Amino acid sequence: MENIRTDLAIEAHEMCSKKKAEETEVGGVLVTEDKRDGVFVTVIDIKSIEGEKELGKPMGKYITIEAPDIKFSDDALENTAKIIAEQIREICHVTESTKTLVVGLGNDMITPDALGPKVVSQLMVTNHIKTYMSELLDESYSSVCAIVPGVLGTTGIETTDIIKGVADKIKPEIVICVDALATRSVNRISTTVQISDTGISPGSGVENKREEISEKSIGAKVISIGVPTVVDAATIASDSIDAVIESSEELKVLCKENERRNIIKKALLGSEKNMMVTPKDIDLVIRRAAKVVADGINLALHNSVSF
């Protein structure tokens, strides 16, 4: 599973399950599934260190919302936004006096990495109005702030430091981090939303210096919302090879698992490094993905009564 990058718990779980086909369950991981109005909701609850190690993701709840129709249908988009709002509210309690900081992670100069900044630009930000002109908003609005911290390569600052610095000043009860993710499957691009209650380690800095954004480190409930927008080119390469090998019994015998990885490594020679795979209409689909997440957050944090 090393070499293959996915940010989605549901895919990490699928890969694990496949490897141990005989078992129905990965140890310490609880999975529940639901389907409503064409939208699949899968909750993966990693409950133990064992599960953490198996899936390569920190303990916690990962809610995957799969809504292929949001690409085309405005009704599906609205419907999915409502489900996102419900799931956020299951993780944290929002009242009129709650203060939330939404963080739009990613580089807004790179189209498939700009999901976070695009979501932030569509939020109903209310903190300054509630502070200075509170008479303009009734009790159905909570207090929302939002920042776009940029990325290490353009700020020179660990993104975690920026978020913590701002959180220290404004003391939010909830921090929602929105980010673009990598997936194994082109079909998930801009149609799947992952919500989790675990912390997040933004960006690609030097690992041992990296500090997490988490309830422990920041003193606020942390929710991560991500949408896959790219597939690593290496994933496409690896999947293609697997598909070929699987298609022939002879090849399957010839290429045993371990060996297979070696062959692939040699074959790829790193030439796909730093390459990403996106749909040709990524500029369009990312706009719809940003809208569904922004609408979901707006619904979760405001209009408490009507929802």
| Positive/negative CA dihedral, 209, 212, 213, 215 | negative
Nearer to a second copy, 49 or 275 (CB): 275
CA distances from 246 to 20, 35, 260 (A): 17, 31, 12
Stretch that binds a second copy, among 8-16, 45-53, 143-151, 215-223 (CB under 8 A): 143-151
- Residue 228's CB is within 10 A of a number of other CB atoms, namely 27
Total residues contacting a second copy (rule CB under 8 A)? 77
Is residue 298 a contact point for a second copy (CB under 8 A)? no
Stretch that binds a second copy, among 36-44, 58-66, 276-284, 293-301 (CB under 8 A): 276-284
- Rounded Cα distance between 127 and 104, Å, is 17
In whole angstroms, the minimum distance from the beta carbon of 266 to a second copy comes to: 6
In whole angstroms, the minimum distance from the beta carbon of 39 to a second copy comes to: 22
Residue 193's closest CA among 79, 66, 9, 38? 66
Is residue 279 a contact point for a second copy (CB under 8 A)? yes
Backbone phi, psi, residue 33, to 5°: -125, 150
Is residue 206 a contact point for a second copy (CB under 8 A)? yes
In whole angstroms, the minimum distance from the beta carbon of 217 to a second copy comes to: 13
In whole angstroms, the minimum distance from the beta carbon of 176 to a second copy comes to: 13
List the structure tokens of 89.
């509210």
Query: 5 to 24, contacts with a second copy by CB under 8 A?
Result: none
Is residue 73 a contact point for a second copy (CB under 8 A)? no
> Exactly one of 76, 83, 277, 292 binds a second copy (CB under 8 A); which one?
277
Residue count of the chain, please give it: 307
Stretch that binds a second copy, among 12-20, 44-52, 87-95, 142-150 (CB under 8 A): 142-150
Instruction: Give the angle 201-207-211 at the CA atoms, nearest 5°.
Output: 45
Instruction: Give the angle 185-289-157 at the CA atoms, nearest 5°.
Output: 90
Is residue 170 a contact point for a second copy (CB under 8 A)? yes
Query: 112 to 131, contacts with a second copy by CB under 8 A?
Result: 113, 120-121, 125-129
Is residue 110 a contact point for a second copy (CB under 8 A)? yes
- Residue 159's CB is within 10 A of a number of other CB atoms, namely 24
List the structure tokens of 27.
């140890």
Helix (H) or strand (E) holding 81: helix 74-91
> Exactly one of 18, 22, 243, 249 binds a second copy (CB under 8 A); which one?
243
